[in-house]
Amino acid sequence: MKIFGLKLTGILTGLIVSFVISSFANAKSNPSYTLYKNTLNQGIVVYPSATPQSKLIGFVTKLDFKEVDSGQTVMRFGTNRENLALMMPENVQNKHEIKKFILIQQLSADEYMVGVYDPEWGLTLPGPIFGLEELMTNIPKTLNVFNNVKDGIKT
């Protein structure tokens, strides 16, 4: 076999094929995420973590969420296999004892898609794209639902 006019041996051919396959695999890898957690074991997963809006991250930390993990997102189903989305791996969720979390996918500097995971409801994926201000308005409301708080009163 000749590539670029060079005769390749079996070992060299194997190395080139391995390199090409691994390059394609790496090019299609899932985006990275950052996991934030509060003292109630609730999480906020933001991805891709390479381009987070600093205003969003500042807001998340003001809500007493701390960065606890990061890594590559994986495709997962909700509790009853009702929806499918990129999120943190299940072993990371279990390691940090997170039962409920909000998924935030940053599409641009001011466009976000959001998902909500709760073991009772499964994975909810609202359709609209949210702006940053709308997202920051709705995160505390979602946390109130997680905590069974309605109109400032725990139910």
User: Are 7 and 36 in a shared domain?
Assistant: no
Same domain for 36 and 18?
Answer: no
pLDDT of res. 29 = 78
Q: Are residues 1 and 69 in the same domain?
A: no
Number of domains in the chain: 2
Residue 2 has a pLDDT of: 34
Measured CA to CA, the distance from residue 148 to residue 127 in angstroms comes to: 24
Pair 142, 102: CB distance under 8 Å: yes
Q: Are residues 63 and 104 in the same domain?
A: yes
pTM score above 0.85: no
Contact 47, 73 (CB under 8 A): yes
For residues 48 and 4, membership in a common domain is answered with no
Instruction: Report CA 7 to chain centroid distance, whole Å.
Output: 46
- Shared domain for 25 and 36, answered yes or no, is no
- Residues 105, 54, single domain; the answer is yes
pLDDT tens, the chain, 155 aa long: 433 333 444 443 433 433 434 443 444 578 999 999 999 999 999 998 766 678 899 999 999 999 999 999 999 988 888 788 899 999 999 999 999 999 999 988 889 999 999 998 889 887 789 999 999 999 999 999 999 876 555 55
Instruction: Quote the domain boundaries for residue 7.
Output: 1-29
Indicate whether 3 and 40 sit together in one domain. no
Residues 18 and 85 in one domain: no
Instruction: Identify whether residues 41 and 5 lie together within a single domain.
Output: no
Q: Name the 3-class secondary structure at 55.
A: helix
